[in-house]
Amino acid sequence: MDRVHTPERARRLARVLISDVAAYAGDQVRIGLEKDDLFERLAPEIERARTFYLYHVDPAVAERARLFDFALVDVLVYGSRRVQTHIW
């Protein structure tokens, strides 16, 4: 895989990686939201995705770390907004 040099491609890569984490985790996303421990529950998977992302995205891409964090919240949390939890 070539290095990612644009913010748009970095954003897409982050979303794909987090979507894979969500698919692999299955019900753990729902349980993590219900128990308010989602990020701790999926910490190893999230860290592997983050490591892959940071390795493949050029450090010169502005906001590269934040793009991953935004995708994390958007895909994992907002994508599961139908889960009944005291968080919202």
Would you place residue 76 in the very low, low, confident or very high pLDDT band (cuts 50, 70, 90)? confident
Query: What pLDDT was estimated at residue 61?
Result: 94
Domain regions of the chain by residue span? 7-80
Percentage of the chain modeled with pLDDT above 90:
67
| Amino acid 6: pLDDT | 95
Task: Spell out the SS3 assignment of the chain.
Answer: CCCECCHHHHHHHHHHHHHHHHHHHCHHHHHHHHHCCHHHHCHHHHHHHHHHHHHHECCCCCCHHHHHHHHHHHHHHHHHCCCCCCCC
Q: Which pLDDT band, with edges at 50, 70 and 90, does 36 fall under?
A: confident
